[in-house]
């Protein structure tokens, strides 16, 4: 399972309520006409991410596999999704994205309220690293995602959780509060 994560922010002067309404309309249209390989999406308002402006949004598009990327890319701008997509896109000032692979856990994206972004400590094997995270990845509604092919502006890993995890200091990173916009809030 993969997640295409898209960060974006509104143009100066665009009202947050208008921007959020456009985002919801697009994600509703995507959910109503799911392309093959698309599982679901979640949208969060985020702040405090060093790679983003102060007011930004984070869309998670969960996909079966990498072949679904082409289908979701085409589907986003065609059919009943085209107008909602274009309305949201016109309001955006910019964006950046990354591709993440599900590594461990029992993810429930709509339940996520915190994204802990961090890197594997130097000199630590992946096996040891994953073992150090078992306390969190074995908990309900926690999921660990890892960046694919060096795409994206973030540290290598993201632990999504319903509450702030107390990770080892060696992991460093940043905790980002997530305010769910879609689905519902």
Distance CA(170)–CA(25), nearest Å, equals 41
- Residue 95 sits at the vertex; the CA angle it makes with 94 and 97, to the nearest 5 degrees, is 170
| CB 164, CB 62: distance < 8 Å | no
Dump pLDDT digits (tens) for 140-184.
999 999 999 777 789 999 999 999 999 988 898 999 999 999 997
Distance, CA of 13 to chain centre: 25
Dump pLDDT digits (tens) for 5-36.
999 999 999 999 999 999 999 999 999 999 99
Is the pTM value of this prediction over 0.85? yes
What letter does residue 28 receive in the DSSP assignment? H
| CB 115, CB 3: distance < 8 Å | no
**Nearest CA to 185 among 27, 4, 14?**
27
Q: Domains of the chain by range and CATH?
A: 2-182 (3.30.70.100)
């Amino acid at each position: 399972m993969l997640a295409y994560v898209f960060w974006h922010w509104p143009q100066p002067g665009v009202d947050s309520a208008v921007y959020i309404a456009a985002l919801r309309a697009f994600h509703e249209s995507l959910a109503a006409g799911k392309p093959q390989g698309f599982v679901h999406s979640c949208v969060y308002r985020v702040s405090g991410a060093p790679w983003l402006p102060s007011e930004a949004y984070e869309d998670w598009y969960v996909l079966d596999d990498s072949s679904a990327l082409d289908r979701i890319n085409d589907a986003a701008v065609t059919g009943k999704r085209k107008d909602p997509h274009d309305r949201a896109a016109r309001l955006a000032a910019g964006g950046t994205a990354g591709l993440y692979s599900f590594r461990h856990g029992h993810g429930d994206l709509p339940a996520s309220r915190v994204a802990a972004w961090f890197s594997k400590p130097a000199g630590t094997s992946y096996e040891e690293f994953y073992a150090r995270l078992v306390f969190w990845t074995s908990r309900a509604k926690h999921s660990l995602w890892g960046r694919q092919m060096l795409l994206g502006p973030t540290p290598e890993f993201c632990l999504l959780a319903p509450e702030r995890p107390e990770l080892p200091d060696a992991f460093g990173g940043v905790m980002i509060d997530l305010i769910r916009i879609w689905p519902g809030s």
